[in-house]
Structure 1
């Protein structure tokens, strides 16, 4: 009885939602206004809503209730009480491979076009695997900061918390786990997606003669909440760091995290880098995790997949070029530019690197599409370039 009521509430919510705010905020506002929903109610309503969005652009013409039920079935990895109450037959088959589930639902694999813009993806991405990855919620990842690995692993095992270590100092944890209950955030560990951590591989390609010079200056140009800056300072603790972003409120959040991490020596600047670059000395390393469509992260926020306008790709690509053009004016000769996006679209990734090479004397040191969709993580792109 409760499951059917939660299902109907979720249907009303997804059909009312217009994509103007993140769905998590929309849902929070609804629950604040309707306090009758307890913890189980909220969990099941949220589960139904996100199952609906995880279907993306697949079979748009079917009734919304059928679409939501299919989303619950396809995204389930094992039987669960909600699916049992709504469709016992499908719940019994919840642990089957996706191909078998598709057959049971009466669909063909070709009909499951969750992500329709596969012709626009960066070349190394497996379009089918990437598309169906939106059915699965990505894992929670943390990065262990230097000097804390042994104690973090010991605490995880002491508390019987299931984990894997898919990459050095990267820990994958169950969704819903609150790391703040067991660890000192930003001092011992940093909550950071696996692919974001992997962009740090580019830092290991910076030659010793660059980072050991007395005035090794790093500018994290689109610093946001500071995750890349912390990763970089853990690699180059002696560097002189400048961070910037378009709003001071964002930098205030960064400052809080830096204080928790014990980072005191840095300069912060509020700047719209699409207009001009701040007056800075020449930098030996500039990092730009640029504004983008975020298409590599839509498995975390599948509502964005449903409401995406592909015209935004060109707008973001142009914005990325404008920002890069301005900040490169502050890169020292022989310095390194680390271009990063969390986009899966070629126009924001390889195409923009080619454009930059046509307008600046840049050579690519290493370039990579990080296919996080194979590891329940975000997908990202980075290119480390050197100004010749």
Structure 2
């Protein structure tokens, strides 16, 4: 049984702590920056830019090193660095330099690029392949549960005690995660000594992806989705305040609707793993995402907006589980980090491009046109997704770690 797997339980607890910390941080910074800048759209967009820019830069290196380093030690070090970065930010904040809060996002984004592929390596080595879809689905389910609670808790802490108390919670959560990770089993796989340079490893990962046609199409699809997501992500709070006429604090309830959808979708994927093999799962999810952007951008009714956020989260959870399961279970061990390292910056680079122009576009042409543009990009992404298959090809089978 999957629940009897000690490694799975430890990783699950660590993920929960990290996700809760991230959401408390995100809500606190969002509210604080809006208050400091009087709701400046460009300043809010800058939060997302600083979150994604280092991911774009460091993900490739992090993916390659994840295939070289000890995954357990890498994840523990990442949590310790995240906790230390919050302490530095609090010192800067004490000296009235509130802009230093942007540094917290920057540092956290860097260290996560070394932790995430290492976590995938642990799943790859310590969980049976037939249990991977359920493991990924359940992992995302509990993370989604705290995705629901995170905005509520983050908003409550910020409203009750302000930015300082919100930041004080974060090191505790990261340290709890690090403590749990110390109980992971020792890596029983012999450590591979590689004399290859980083450039050679990157080249081998690139060649692997180019030989895998489904992966190549998946990369292109992710680039389109990243662009669409980047366009709308910084504007969600303005949908709440301008289109729906609600206070900024109500953004937590729409994040909660999205989180409930993610939770139920992840549970569905875990309980029905064969669903992940559905031929048209990916294009249907993308087409629905485009419809969701249209409704969310044009709706003036909170219930309608919330309902589509819920449905969007549910379907995307199934899709995310399918992709993550494919990478962990079907990609050879020696390529897991490299594939993650190449896929992530492509997605993040496209997201960064969308985020970079989001505030300027919304200021010049309005919220609704930006959401319609994002919907059009989603519909375009359906084309390459039609030939993506979540099965391992002969090429993949021939690659060994």
TM-score w.r.t. the length of structure 1 is: 0.22
TM-score w.r.t. the length of structure 2 is: 0.21
Greater helix percent: which structure?
2
Greater strand percent: which structure?
1
